[in-house]
């Protein structure tokens, strides 16, 4: 008995390739980093500043990372999450498998264009406000695979990146430093004052 194939493998491959080529065509220019509030001097007001401080403290001390580890920097993240370096000290104990429950993406490692639509989809579905750490040389610029036709030259081609963390791979201490930097970045943002 012959079972009718609804979509052939070639058709499925072609559909996926079309989607990836569209993404490549759309993301030729890097997305600017979201840092426009960092250099601003706000007109500080005592009441609003203290409300801001509380809100920012609440946001930065309970970050929820999402599972998005396409390559080998993930091992450094595992070490950081485990007992020796222990990121639960910074309030980010559990890595969520669902992007809807997470607001921090630690993008560990090389990203190929084939995987890029999925990573972009995860980022799009994360809860607001969301933050991204580009971890490792490949995440910053494509690393040693930069000239390859199939590797995304930096995550900022597809998603806005908040903190760049160099290293190949970065040590766990470096990742902790990047987490401290993202805490600082969140703390310097005014949530409730006019302007940014």
Partner 1 sequence: MLADYGYVGLLLVVAIFFAVTTLLLPFSLSLPARLAIYSRKFRNYLETRFPFLARFIPPFPSPPKFMQVVPYNPSPVKSSPFECGMETIGRSWVQFNFRYYFYALVFIALDVLVVFLYPWAVQLRGLGFFGFFAVLIFIGIIIIGYLYAWKKKVLEWK
Interacting residues toward partner 1 by CB under 8 A: 1, 3-4, 6-7, 11-12, 15-16, 48, 51, 55, 98-100, 118, 121-122, 124-125, 128-129, 191-194
Distance (Å, whole) CA 144 – CA 187: 34
Q: How far is the CB of 40 from partner 1 (least distance, A)?
A: 14
State the minimum distance, in angstroms, from the CB of residue 48 to partner 1: 7
* Smallest distance from partner 1 to CB 9, Å: 11
100 DSSP assignment? G
Minimum CB separation of residue 16 from partner 1 in Å reads 8
For 149, the 3-state DSSP assignment is: coil
Task: Provide CB contacts within 8 A for 191, sequence distance 6+.
Answer: 52, 55, 56
Q: How far is the CB of 13 from partner 1 (least distance, A)?
A: 10
Q: What angle separates helix 172-187 from helix 74-81, to the nearest 10 degrees?
A: 80
DSSP H helices in the chain: 9-26, 46-60, 74-81, 116-125, 137-141, 172-187
Q: Which is nearer to partner 1, 56 or 76 (by Cβ)?
A: 56
Q: Is 22 helix (H, G, I), strand (E, B) or coil?
A: helix
Report d(CA 154, CA 169) in Å as an integer: 15
Tokens linked to 25: 């065509």
CB closer to partner 1 out of 50 and 88? 50
- Nearer CB in complex with partner 1: 17/91: 17
Closer to partner 1 by Cβ: residue 6 or 25: 6
Query: Nearer Cβ to partner 1, position 15 or 38?
Result: 15
């Amino acid at each position: 008995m012959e079972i009718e194939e609804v979509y052939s493998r070639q058709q499925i491959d072609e559909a996926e390739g079309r989607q990836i080529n569209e993404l490549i065509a759309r993301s030729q220019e890097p997305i600017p980093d979201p840092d426009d509030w960092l250099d601003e001097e706000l007109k500080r007001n005592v009441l609003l500043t203290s409300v801001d401080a509380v809100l920012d403290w609440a946001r930065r001390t309970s970050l929820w990372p999402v599972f998005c580890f396409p390559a080998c920097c993930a091992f450094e993240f595992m070490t950081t999450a485990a007992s020796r370096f222990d990121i639960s000290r910074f309030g980010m104990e559990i890595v969520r498998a669902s992007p809807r429950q997470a607001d921090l993406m630690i993008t560990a490692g090389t990203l190929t264009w084939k995987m890029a639509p999925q990573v972009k989809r995860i980022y799009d579905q994360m809860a607001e406000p969301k933050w991204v750490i580009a971890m490792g040389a490949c995440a910053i610029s494509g690393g040693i695979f930069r000239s390859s036709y199939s590797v995304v030259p930096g995550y900022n081609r597809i998603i806005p990146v908040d903190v760049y963390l160099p290293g190949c791979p970065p040590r766990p201490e470096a990742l902790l430093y990047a987490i401290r930097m993202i805490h600082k970045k969140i703390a310097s943002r005014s949530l409730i004052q006019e302007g940014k």
